[in-house]
Structure 1
Amino acid sequence: MTADIGRLDLDKLYAARLLAVRARPYLATALFALHIVESPRAPTMGVDRYWRCYVSPAFVDYTPVEELASVLVHEVSHLLRDHHGRSDRFAQRHNLSGPAERLRMNIAADAEINDDAFGHGLIQPEGAIMPATLGLAAGELMEDYLHQFRLGRHTQDMAWLDCGSGADGSDREWELGPDGADGLTEQEREAVRFRVAQGIIGEPGNTPQGWRRWAEEAMHPPQPWRDLLGAAIRAAASASGAGADYTYGRPARRSAAVPGIVLPSLRRTPPRVSVVIDTSGSVSDVELGSALLETAAVTRAVGGRRDLVTVLSCDAAARITDPLCRAEGIALIGGGGTDLRSGFAKALRAQSRPDVIVVLTDGQTPWPASRPSCRTVVGLFRREHTWNDDEPNYVPAPPSWARVVHIG
């Protein structure tokens, strides 16, 4: 198909791709997987979820090769990070619709990508959206940024932005859709992501932290236990009084029966979660690394609200409770014996009491004698053999009042 493209300057575009590969060799598989489609109707350059890259010939003509290389890296980053799927899930979870909300998602996705995308061989394109453009901190995810800004004076000059459905999940009329030619299948798309993640982990070098974080999560496919955790959190959210408050932002339906009076409706918010991580000497570094990934999964289960998640590291004593910022920033302190009862006690004494306690442990610990006042989920590190210095035949036995799921 590309051989029949008429006035699109393919030589210039391919030169830009080679420059992008030289600057970001770990993205080479993804850059060469993109199928180029000439599209005069595309505003500049955009992608769909099937890894087609729609390119405006006029945009290629007036844009320098160095800047085209940066734009190609930017667009393929949307696809690797599944921004279309994440946008769809965010919109469904928060009941969002309309072009304005999709523009907001595109802006937030750009902020996630661009904070560490440029430099080291790639120039920053004119008009590139950075977290600082929105008055926000760098290093966060699209979902975090969506909670922190609305369309307004900071975004009034961004209405032109259109990276295609691959960035925000909303199909464009100039895209070929699922039945069009030359799209990648779901298996092919996952294979590209896997090879890129494998390359980053194998030779991290100077790879930015954001890409290393992405690769670690991509190489650890979702575990079934996360579905159980999500179900436990949803159950906690629907329990009487959990995460409930009244708001006049959406009047109650019964207001219609009382003319002249506006009654507030009951609003439910995601529950607060305390994550207690076992850092005793019997827990390996690999398991601690897995605990950090599972903590990130806990955050996603509460809609990306990191302010609702606190983390305690605990061996024989519970350490300082930290609000969750990002998984790689959590300090896990410990290495001694194990007594998670202190972790439960500290979590329940917090000023904002949790609705759910998630414990990540190898199970070699005493447990509270009675059921805590909130739901408890125990993530048990899966092992072929479990050891205990005092009891060679020791078998972890979490309490019956906890939902137990195996990790790994």
Structure 2
Amino acid sequence: MEENNISYTQKVQNAISKFQSISSELKSIFVERDEVIDNSIKALITGQSVLLIGPPGTAKSALTDELCKRIVNGRYFSWLLNRTSDPSEILGPFSIREMEQDKFVRVTKNKLPEAEIVFLDEIFKCNEPTLNILLPLINEKLFYNDGKPVDVPLISLFAASNEFPEEDSLLALYDRMIFRMYVDYVGDVQNKMIMLKNFLSKGSKNDSPTTVTIDDINVLREAMDNIEIDDSILKEYIALMNALLREGIVVSDRRQNECLKVLRVSALLDNRESVNSSDFKCLRDVLWNEPSEIEKIEEVLKESSVSAYEKEYNTIKKRYVEIVDASETITDVRMIVEIKSSVEYLYEKLKRIMKEKELMEDGVLKKFESLKKEVEDYLEYISKQVDEDDLMM
């Protein structure tokens, strides 16, 4: 039994080592694509989907092709979608013989339903019939053939687009793209030199690239499921989601669940048995809906859940002190009313945040409780001032 455990542990370590080598090799070929490469590897292990958005000619398909070549005997399907794409292009044609028996059975050989890795270019140009097929394929790994659900061996779907989805009907598909990355042209001069030299020397290269097998991926997937996420981390995670919501960034329930897989694979690839708050940073390209949200997400992720509440406290406290200091020299009743309104806004914000008090550490909670009492007392004081001024008028 012990020998089997050692053997399994070694398999896990070997698979991790292989993916680390693949990551290094791809990063030497595709400059300024580190996050795309790391996230694509995480997607393979977690069985999640990847969306690469950016202008043409940014190596979106080339990078995916190169990664998929490293999977020994992996069944790979690639297709360019357009508005008139027929579902048979990706699913296979209907069998004439079966149609004679009034059955609509597709011949799926060498098509998407038999592939383990899929790349779909211009995914948001897919039409409604194709969309209805892709949704259960991506999420439930199911394909309906003659109305009967069939499990597909799909591990990960990689998709590319030059543009964001414009139609509401595509939002469900967009939400199923767990990793989202914007890929731009190479900008740094030194990186451009590396890119150009790589292109010039491509024909003369004779390297033996590192490869993995489907078994390696399955071993890591099993190991990932054993990575622990304790209640304290879940509380921090909930606090993170709440902090994002306060910034106006909405993360769907489905995506919040899928994020847990990303946290687990992050810990696994770091050779840890459990998730810690340092893994939260790997969610950067999982949480945004619009590129404009990325900067806000980065700011939130820089802080742990506890320090995030600390930051909220400091922000409110600073603003409160500024208002109180400014009010000391003000006698105009209209200005006092405006000050009262500003303090009431801060008070309501305090109350909203303190609804999450079970997520706070005791020290932070005490700070919030003390500040809330201080603001309440000040509101009572300034309300009396307003009332007295009204009487005098």
**Into which bin does the TM-score normalised by the smaller protein fall?**
under 0.3
| Larger helix share, 1 or 2 | 2
| Greater Cα radius of gyration, structure 1 or 2 | 2
How does the TM-score come out when normalised to structure 1? Answer: 0.25
